[in-house]
Chain A
Amino acid sequence: MALPVVEYLKIPDEGEPYLEGHKCEDCASIFIGSRNVCPKCFSRDKMEKIQLGNKGKLYSYSIVFRSFPGIEVPYISAIVDLDEGGTIKGNLIDCEPDPEKIKFDMPVEVVFDDALGRKDAEGNSYISYFFKPI
């Protein structure tokens, strides 16, 4: 069975994968990854787990032409503001790596798929998330 690429990607026994965030009950800030204290309002033990939304808009990006050895290029490194709160970073797929074709605020969907065929030392497959233009 495929494993989640990051801890905040959840694969339930039934239903679709989703991304998990943590929301401060006091100031409503949303974080990726668990924590006990809110770095914005300093409240303690007010974090609740939430399911992040699957729709968002492109906030910023870079088209990567040179990366570390063995990493396939080019790809679009994208920063996406989710409509229901939270900001995440990932690859923008199904979009030409051409600044003319990439528009700020273009609507995207978070989709889940195999992690580009990458496997760990034990041969496990992974599920990752990607952004796809809507």
Chain B
Amino acid sequence: MSDVYVIGVDMIKFGRFPERTVPNLGAEAALMALDDAGLTIEDMQALYCGNLGQANAMVGQRILQEIGQTGMPVVNCSNACATGATAFREAWTSIRAGLFDVVLAVGVEQMGKGLLGGTGAGKGIPKEGLLGSGTMPAVFAEAGMEHSRKYGTTFEQFAKISVKNHHHSTMNPKAMYQIETPLEEVMNAEMISYPNSKLMCSVNVDGSAAAVLVSEKKAKELGMARAVKVRASALTSDPYQERDLVMPDVNTCTRKAAKEAYEMAGVGPEDIDLVELHDCFATAEMLHYENLGLCEDGEAGKMIDEGEVALGGKVPVNVSGGLLSKGHPLGATGIANIYEVCTHLRGEAGERQVEGAKLGLTHVIGLGSACGIHILEKVN
């Protein structure tokens, strides 16, 4: 089986573009990734497109209507917030399987404002605020409070994660926000669902990201100078857990995917130089330090207290600003994470560059649940 390389990758600056369409946003990132690779749409053998909001509306084909209808196969995927990573993985799989040598993966989303989730009206009367809350801030607050019950994790420690990620995004011109948020500001911001204040919830933005993946043969032909090797791709669903029905499990599926990815890459968490993980809420990021093996169980609070996960620390996490500050366009997030890690491995991340980065890891969670992890390696 051929190794797989990312030869071109890019994302648009995340923001709010209500006047544009989903295919139009996706087309922009697709062209940027093709330019980065020095290739054209005619060179692509297939398109894997990730989008959630219009999952039944052939977004991939509509992107091609904007950038070139070559007749190539198009696969449209939807996998909650793991949608982008799933599209990337399908592209990777097609090269591993020997079907293609050059494929394009695009993730795109246009979001409204406001709360996501909810228990749904269904039959009868609304259940929200009657049978607890199905809003995403509350669901992830409950997951964070499970960490608090086990290890005594505090509101302040969760809040520090937002301080860190908002600080990181001041160095990322493609992030939605570039604003410092001191600890008091995060803790005193409007409380949405304790312990997640408004500044501890990811930002709903519009965005797109794209990557060109190639086989080893093709990478050698095109030149390896800026190529990034995909060392591992893992995708899991949530194995049975006793509280599944009322408490979506983001931990077990992440641990399973991490184990599989480390095994495939033949590396351990201690070898990873930077991580882009799924900080849809500050409470979620805390869980994944342990789930990804960046520290022992129970030590996540200490990692944030001691700055180990900040730029310049032992293993910088979400130097892009993360979903909290860069923004979270659901279907684009999984490829935007890959763009961020590739940019560091290529040494092109500017002010926020993780010095000497050789191996990076991306992680996303789609609630319900799906976990996608990729491990990427600098080639030259």
Contacts and interface: CB of A to CB of B under 8 A. Distances in A.
B63 to A, nearest CB: 33
A67 B149 contact: no
Interface string B119-143: 0000011111111110101110111
Interface in A72-114: 72-73, 75, 77-79, 81, 87-91, 99, 104-105
Given A6-B131, A89-B132, A99-B155, A65 B191 contact: yes
Contacts of B190: 65-66
A61 interface: yes
A126 interface: yes
A68 B125 contact: no
A5 B127 contact: yes
Contacts of A89: 131-132, 246-247
Contacts of A73: 129
A59 B245 CA distance: 14
B246 A104 contact: no
Interface stretch (A10-18, A25-33, A47-55): A25-33
B192 interface: yes
A86 B90 CA distance: 37
A71 interface: yes
Interface residues of A, number: 44
A79 B127 contact: no
A33 B246 CA distance: 12
B126 A118 contact: yes
A79 B129 contact: no
B115 A77 contact: no
Nearest to B247: A79
Interface in B237-271: 240, 242-247
B128 A32 contact: no
Contacts of A61: 142, 145
Contacts of A40: 240
Interface in B187-212: 190-196
A116 B130 contact: yes
Interface in B105-119: 115, 118
Main secondary structure of the interface of A (DSSP, over half): strand
Contacts of B127: 5-6
A71 B127 CA distance: 10
Nearest to B115: A68
Interface size class of B (residues with CB under 8 A): 35 or more
Contacts of A91: 129-132
A119 interface: yes
Nearest to A103: B149
Nearest to B118: A68
A36 interface: no
B146 interface: yes
Interface string B225-247: 00000000000000010111111
Contacts of B143: 60
Nearest to A78: B132
Given A65-B191, A87-B243, A5 B129 contact: no
Contacts of B194: 62-65, 99
A20 B246 CA distance: 15
Nearest to A131: B132
A104 B149 contact: yes
A12 B132 CA distance: 24
Contact of B129 (A39, A71, A81, A105): A71
B129 A87 contact: no
Contacts of A60: 142-143, 145-146, 149, 247
A123 B206 CA distance: 40
A64 B130 contact: no
9 contacts: A32-B246, A59-B149, A64-B137, A64-B192, A65-B190, A66-B115, A89-B246, A90-B131, A99-B195
Interface of B: 115, 118, 124-133, 135, 137-139, 141-143, 145-146, 148-149, 155, 190-196, 240, 242-247
